[in-house]
Amino acid sequence: MDNETIIVLDFGGQYNQLIARRVRECGVYCEVRSYKTPIEEIRKAAPKGIIFTGGPNSVYDEKSPHIGKEIFELGIPILGICYGAQIIAYTLGGKVDSCSVSEYGKTETFYDKSGVIFGAVKDLPDSAVSWMSHTDFVSQIPEGFRITAHTKNCPAAAFENSERKLYAVQFHPEVNHTQHGLGMLDSFVRNVCGCKCDWNMKNYAKTAIEQIRDKVGAGKVLLALSGGVDSSVACALLSKAVGAQLTCVFVDHGFMRKNEGDEVEKAFKDWDVNFIRVDASDRFIGKLEGVSDPETKRKTIGEEFIRVFEDEAKKIGKVDFLVQGTIYPDVIESGTGDAAVIKSHHNVGGLPDRVDFKEIIEPLRMLFKDEVRKLGTELGLPDYLVWRQPFPGPGLAIRIIGEITREKLEILRDADLIFREEIANAHLDRDINQYFAVLTNNRSVGVMGDGRTYDYTLALRGVTTSDFMTADFARIPYEVLEKVSIRIVNEVKHINRICYDITSKPPATIEWE
- The string of DSSP letters for 394-453 reads TGGGGSB-SS--HHHHHHHHHHHHHHHHHHHHTT-TTTSSEEEEEEEEEEEEEEETTEEE
For residue range 454-484, list pLDDT tens digits in order: 999 999 999 998 767 778 999 999 999 999 9
For residue range 182-234, list pLDDT tens digits in order: 999 999 999 999 999 989 999 899 989 999 999 999 999 999 888 888 999 99
For residue range 232-291, list pLDDT tens digits in order: 999 999 999 999 999 999 999 999 999 988 988 888 877 878 899 999 999 999 999 999
Question: Which of 25, 103, 160, 174 is flagged as catalytic?
Answer: 174
Alpha-carbon torsion (199, 346, 324, 463), positive or negative: negative
Alpha-carbon torsion (433, 439, 442, 446), positive or negative: positive
346 pLDDT exceeds 50? Answer: no
Q: 464 forms bridges with which residues in the sheet? A: 472
d(CA 360, CA 362): 7
User: Is residue 28 packed enough to be buried (19+ CB in 10 Å), middle (13-18) or exposed (0-12)?
Assistant: buried
Give pLDDT, residue 2.
Answer: 67
174 is catalytic: yes
Angle at the Cα of 259 from the Cα atoms of 361 and 223, rounded to 5 degrees: 10
Q: Are strands 166-169 and 274-279 parallel, antiparallel or unpaired?
A: unpaired
In the chain, what is the straight-line distance between the N-terminal and C-terminal CA atoms, in Å?
A: 34
386 pLDDT exceeds 60? Answer: yes
Question: Which of 30, 82, 193, 248 is flagged as catalytic?
Answer: 82
d(CA 97, CA 349): 39
DSSP string, 454-488: EEEEEEEEEEE-SSSSSBEE----HHHHHHHHHHH
d(CA 238, CA 4): 25
Look at 352 and 64; give whichever has higher pLDDT.
Answer: 64
Q: Are strands 166-169 and 158-161 parallel, antiparallel or unpaired?
A: antiparallel
On whether the CB atoms of residues 13 and 54 are closer than 8 A, the answer is yes
417 confidence band (pLDDT: 50, 70, 90) = very high
d(CA 271, CA 235): 10
SS3 of 492-506: the string is CCCEEEEEECCCCEC
Question: Which of 4, 134, 150, 172 is flagged as catalytic?
Answer: 172
d(CA 485, CA 474): 16
355 confidence band (pLDDT: 50, 70, 90) = low
The reply to whether 201-386 shares the fold of 5-192 is yes
347 pLDDT exceeds 70? Answer: no
For residue range 419-431, list pLDDT tens digits in order: 999 999 999 998 9
For residue range 130-171, list pLDDT tens digits in order: 999 888 999 999 999 999 999 998 999 999 999 999 999 999
323 confidence band (pLDDT: 50, 70, 90) = very high
Give pLDDT, residue 103.
Answer: 81
**What is the pLDDT of the chain when averaged over all its residues?**
90
333 pLDDT exceeds 80? Answer: no
* Number of other residues whose CB lies within 10 A of the CB of residue 58: 16
Asked if CATH classification 3.40.640.10 holds for the domain at 399-500, the reply, yes or no, is no
Q: Give the mean model confidence (pLDDT) for residues 388-416.
A: 93
Q: Where are the domains of the chain?
A: 5-192, 201-386, 399-500
For residue 247, give the H/E element and its range.
strand 246-252
DSSP string, 349-393: TT--S--SSSEEE-TTTT--HHHHHHHHHHTT--HHHHTPPP--T
On whether the CB atoms of residues 158 and 169 are closer than 8 A, the answer is yes
d(CA 191, CA 260): 49
Q: Which residues contact 203 (CB under 8 A, 6 or more apart)?
A: 3
* R_g of the chain computed on alpha carbons: 25
d(CA 404, CA 398): 9
Asked if CATH classification 3.40.50.880 holds for the domain at 5-192, the reply, yes or no, is yes
On whether the CB atoms of residues 355 and 319 are closer than 8 A, the answer is no
d(CA 298, CA 345): 7
Which is nearest to 282 in space by CA: 253, 250, 306, 311?
253
Instruction: Return the SS3 of 249.
Output: strand
For residue range 33-88, list pLDDT tens digits in order: 999 999 999 999 999 999 999 988 899 888 899 999 999 999 999 999 999 999 99
CATH topology of domain 201-386: Rossmann fold (3.40.50)
DSSP 123: T
Which is nearest to 413 in space by CA: 252, 263, 260?
260
